[in-house]
Amino acid sequence: MSEPAVIGRVAGKVALVTGAASGIGAESARRLAAEGAAVVVADLAAEAGEALAGAINEAGGTAMFLALDVTDQARWGAVVQAVLDHFGRLDVLVTCAGISGDRPLLKGRYDVWKRIMAVNLDGTYLGLAAVAPVMAAAGRGSIVTISSIAGKAGIAGAPAYCASKGGVALLTKAAAAELAPLGVRVNSIHPGFIETPMVLNSLAADPNGAARRAAQASRHPVGRYGRPREIADGVVFLASDESSFMTGSELVIDGGYTAV
């Protein structure tokens, strides 16, 4: 007997993507929609988020924008409820919202540390805590967190960013262990340097940006930065049922950065 026709690798699923107005989150939202998911574009940046949701709808997909500050626990509750009210289900959470802007320890500022931890780590925790009860009650779900190569090894000058991304990796494993018996999978993605506004804006503001880019690119054995699409393809895989036996795992997409 042939399998029923399914249009798209995540067809029928509803996916909530944070940080979806830019970079990796935006490309993940586009790819999930192209593969058949209804996508909730969630971000602080309303204009870019609305524009992306509009573009997905115009291209024949299904998307809506919801304003979300991932550090705001009450807003997380309202967003998840809005998704359920509108779509009646929530199958996938992708936590792309994140910030960099770290300072070296020797020039450290506690306020910078706290802000990076609040967005990258607390924001991921609040997202997991908001969606876990919904997914557990449904007996299904896939959560994809975005850690980093900076969650696997230290990067000089980035103590808070590394600590936040290491925290995301272990938060992911703890959540995976807790939620696996309930049918919910939780996996992390660890990108190398990717061509997104986060990285490109920082290079543009640096008089030595070109040299810094060349040095960073050469740390990747493939010799270049990655592209948002190369991370979004991993997001779609982990969101889809193709990865049904994966939970608590680290999908490293880094051009070989951590291999050498």
Ligand X SMILES: NC(=O)c1ccc[n+]([C@@H]2O[C@H](COP(=O)([O-])OP(=O)(O)OC[C@H]3O[C@@H](n4cnc5c(N)ncnc54)[C@H](O)[C@@H]3O)[C@@H](O)[C@H]2O)c1
In this structure, the chain runs to a length of 260
Quote the tokens at residue 157: 């000058």
When the beta carbons of 182 and 198 are compared against ligand X, the nearer one is 198
User: Are the CB atoms for 26 and 49 separated by under 8 Å?
Assistant: no
Give yes or no for residue 162 binding ligand X (CB under 6 A): no
What is the rounded CA–CA span in Å between residue 259 and residue 190?
13
Give yes or no for residue 234 binding ligand X (CB under 6 A): no
Find how far residue 235's CA is from the centre of its chain.
8
Q: Taking Cα atoms as reference points, which of 150, 177, 178 lies closest to residue 165?
A: 150
Among the candidate windows 17-25, 136-144, 173-181, 232-240, which touches ligand X by CB under 6 A? 17-25
To the nearest whole angstrom, how small is the minimum distance from the Cβ of residue 221 to ligand X?
Answer: 16
Give yes or no for residue 21 binding ligand X (CB under 6 A): yes
The Cα-based distances of 221 to 75, 211, 254, 256 in angstroms read: 42, 17, 9, 5
When the beta carbons of 140 and 219 are compared against ligand X, the nearer one is 219
DSSP label at residue 121: I
225 is catalytic: no
Q: Specify the residue for token string 């930065």.
A: 225
Residue selected from 35, 43, 91, 230 as contacting ligand X according to rule CB under 6 A: 43
Burial (CB count within 10 angstroms: exposed 0-12, middle 13-18, buried 19+), residue 36: middle
When the beta carbons of 112 and 199 are compared against ligand X, the nearer one is 199
Residue selected from 10, 13, 17, 18 as contacting ligand X according to rule CB under 6 A: 18
Provide the phi-psi class of 220: left if phi over 0, else alpha when psi is between -120 and 50, else beta: beta
Catalytic residue, from 110, 125, 161, 257: name it. 161
To the nearest whole angstrom, how small is the minimum distance from the Cβ of residue 118 to ligand X?
Answer: 8
For 119, half-sphere exposure in the C-beta direction (CA atoms, 13 angstrom radius) is 20
Residues in contact with ligand X, counted by CB under 6 A, come to a total of: 29
Looking at residue 71, its amino acid is: T
Question: What mask of x and - would describe binding to ligand X in positions 187 to 226, judged by CB under 6 A?
Answer: ----x-xx-xxxx---------------------------
91-150 residues near ligand X, rule: CB under 6 A: 96-99, 119, 123, 146, 148
Footprint of ligand X on this chain (CB under 6 A)? Answer: 18-19, 21-25, 43-45, 68-71, 96-99, 119, 123, 146, 148, 191, 193-194, 196-199
Indicate which residues carry an active-site annotation.
Answer: 161
